[in-house]
Amino acid sequence: MFAAGRFAVVGVDVVGSASPAMHNAALQAMGLQPTYEARSLMASELPGFLRRASAEGFQGLNVTAPYKTLAYEMAKVCSPVVQAAGAANTWRIGPRGAEAFNTDVDGLWAMLTAYGALSAGQRVVLLGAGGAARAAALVLGQWAEAVLVINRTPAHARALCAAQMLHPENRARWQVLQLQHPGDLVALQEAFTDAALVIDAVGDRGVARCGGHEARLPWRVLDHRAELFDLSYGSAASPLSLWTGRAAFDGATMLLHQGAASFELWTGRAAPLEVMRDALAARLGRPAPSIPMVPSAIGRFEQAGSRG
């Protein structure tokens, strides 16, 4: 029988996070008291908090950017997905200590599936190379033909690509945008012309900066059929939509499904997905049907029994 302890989302500034509303509704649906909170911490405070989490009664944590790499490094046990991504967004805390998982991968797969964007052989532009981008890369590597990674720090993008090229299930070609030669601008233009999908994982939406060089992203050459996904979420227009002047899907569906996968890891029970979806929609001030549900996505990558 599951006995609820404490849960939290941890990040730099998570006061406005929608996760507490979503998870507390799920706990109440199980007949338990809501015990999920938001904890905003500075980088200097996070290691101490993670070390004390078990003693303070926490059974599970969600960790947001930019702390996902540290959550991976400090965990006692890491799932294979976390090891492949080099980042963790979920901790399960028990007798063995902290176990790290990456349910962002489940969430992104669900979001792309819900909107019919998972088609084999597509060309993709991925903005960013942090924790969310690494989760996205694990999904993209299994079905995309080619992925161009654009990041402010090229070394981080190269590390992401190198990790994916070594992954046993990778089928994609990976390329890092460089801006050192005139031909690099041509490659950037061609990548956007051919792209069927653009994923903004907290990248530079307007300008690509690499080292001391920069170039405006050529949004105007995108095919009208190309789909845009912004992994951030909220009630306002997606930042990617504002940059491009086109409709973009935001990360609410990803948030829902990564949260449901985390909930199942913590409780060992099926997540009340519809309850969580309705609470999330109410928190964001939008109709519930605007956040698609994909029950088969929960735990697709991260399973409760996975071990590192």
Q: How far apart (Å, rounded) are the C-alpha atoms in residues 255 and 238? A: 15
For residue 260, is it within any domain?
yes
The answer to whether residues 131 and 65 belong to one domain is no
Q: What is the CATH number of the domain that holds 36?
A: 3.40.50.10860
List, in order, residues 6 or more apart from 254 with CB less than 8 Å away.
Answer: 104, 107, 108, 110, 111, 231, 233
Q: Which of 206, 221, 244 is the last residue of a domain?
A: 244
Residue 307 resides in a domain: no
Q: What angle do CA 134, 140, 145 make, to 5 degrees?
A: 135
Per-residue pLDDT at 134: 93
Q: Which two tokens stand for residue 51?
A: 């070390």
The pLDDT tens digits for 47-94 are 999 999 999 999 999 999 899 999 999 999 999 999 999 999 999 998
Q: Which of 244, 270, 286 is the last residue of a domain?
A: 244
- Is 76 catalytic? The answer is no
List 174's β-bridge partners, or say none.
147
In the chain, alpha helices (H): 19-29, 46-52, 68-74, 80-85, 104-114, 131-140, 154-166, 182-194, 239-244, 252-267, 273-284
Query: What is the spatial distance between Cα 67 and Cα 148, in angstroms, rounded to a whole number?
Result: 24
Shared domain check, 288 and 218? no
- Give tens-digit pLDDT for 218-256: 999 999 999 999 998 886 677 888 888 888 999 999 999
Do 203 and 260 sit in the same domain of this protein?
no
Query: How do residues 279-291 score in pLDDT, each as one tens digit?
Result: 999 999 999 999 9
Q: HSE on the CB side for 227, CA within 13 Å?
A: 15
Both tokens of 192, joined, read: 């956007």
Same domain, 96 and 173: no
**74 touches 47 (CB < 8 A):** yes
Beta bridge partners of 200: 127, 230
Is residue 302 one of the residues assigned to a domain? Answer: no
The answer to which of 41-45, 57-61, 165-169, 242-246 has the lowest mean pLDDT is: 242-246
For residue 305, tell me if it sits in a domain. Answer: no
Residue 42 lies in a domain: yes
Q: Which domain holds residue 84?
A: 6-103+253-297
- Please give the span between the terminal C-alpha atoms of the chain, in angstroms, as a whole number: 26
Report whether 158 contacts 176 (CB < 8 A). yes
Query: Are residues 56 and 127 part of one domain?
Result: no
More confident residue, 264 or 202: 264
Residue entry with tokens 């409709």: 247
> Do 75 and 99 form a contact (C-beta atoms < 8 A)?
yes
Radius of gyration of the chain (CA): 19
Mean of all residue pLDDT scores within the chain? 90
Mean predicted confidence (pLDDT) in 202-207: 72
Both 162 and 214 in a single domain?
A: yes
Angstrom distances, CA of residue 102 to CA of 79, 90, 166, 283: 8, 6, 19, 24
Residue 268 lies in a domain: yes
* Tens digits of residue pLDDT in 58-70: 999 999 989 999 9
- pTM equals 0.93
Shared-domain flag, residues 139 and 217: yes
The domain that holds 227 is classified in CATH as 3.40.50.720
Which of the following is catalytic: 38, 41, 63, 68? 68
- Asked if residue 109 is part of any domain, the answer here is no
Are residues 12 and 89 part of one domain? yes
Domain count, the chain: 2
Same domain, 123 and 225: yes
123 and 201 within one domain: yes
For residue 191, is it within any domain?
yes
66 prior amide bond cis, ω within 30: yes
Residues 238, 151 within the same domain = yes
163 shares its domain with 137:
yes
